Structure 1
């Protein structure tokens, strides 16, 4: 179970050594999370306009296992580790074929317009851990 997001490595994603620049993996997993939430039916702009609620990354623990390079076709797989009232814990893995390149555990929180924790949208609270 979980979500899959495909992407291609472009020249702009790489560093002087020709490898994907380390911070770009965080961009890749952010894109995958945004697409996952969109596919669940959550319009983040409408949510913010209607309730003031936004998602914020609280914590990321990342392991860089192997490099990706220009023109690689990658897949980000997102799995839920845990859900509580205002918090969502995910595992996100970047794959190139059958090779794991990058693994991150990400904790997201839902915040109100004043920056205080607020309940996740029901569709996210209803999600179950994949493990």
Structure 2
């Protein structure tokens, strides 16, 4: 498995996702991409509960996002998640929320690992192996 793998997650827009104008509230795109990353982690075989038992958890350090379109009630969206870069201490994910072929939201998300004291630690070897 390398950086070329794109994981996709279908997401339906529900009434609770929309604002008074009837479009998806901007913060909900962050929830959609969080679900995409969470399901991607499962798909590649990472056990976050075991990581936590070992004293290491994932944390989002940075999100750079562009809103390029609007989703509406009952739209079927696709969240695309792929690895853009891996270093010893960071995992950079590229994520898109699309309706059909139209990109509505694009984000670069930097994920790090932290120990129980909230201090940054290197990505576990298992993580680096699974994402390369």
Q: Same fold (TM over 0.5)?
A: yes
The aligned residue for residue 7 of structure 2 is: 3
Per-residue deviation, 1:122: 3.1
Task: Check the 8 A contact 1:62/1:105 in 2, yes or no.
Answer: yes
CA RMSD for the aligned pairs? 1.1
Task: Tell me whether 1:83 sits opposite 2:83 in the alignment.
Answer: no
Task: Check the 8 A contact 1:7/1:74 in 2, yes or no.
Answer: yes
Per-residue deviation, 1:11: 0.4
Per-residue deviation, 1:123: 4.0
Task: Tell me whether 1:14 sits opposite 2:18 in the alignment.
Answer: yes
User: TM-score when scaled to structure 1?
Assistant: 0.92
User: TM-score when scaled to structure 2?
Assistant: 0.91
Structure 2 SS opposite 1:22? coil
Q: C-alpha distance in 2, partners of 1:46/1:13?
A: 32
Q: C-alpha distance in 1, partners of 2:124/2:78?
A: 26
Matches within 5 A, 1:23-62: 23-49=27-53, 51-62=54-65
Q: C-alpha distance in 1, partners of 2:15/2:103?
A: 21
Which segments of structure 1 move beyond 6 Å, counting only runs of 4 or more? none
Gapped runs of 5+ residues in structure 1? none
Name whichever of 114-123 and 96-105 sits farther off. Answer: 114-123
The aligned residue for residue 112 of structure 1 is: 115
Gapped runs of 5+ residues in structure 2? none
The number of aligned residues is: 127
Structure 1 SS opposite 2:105? strand
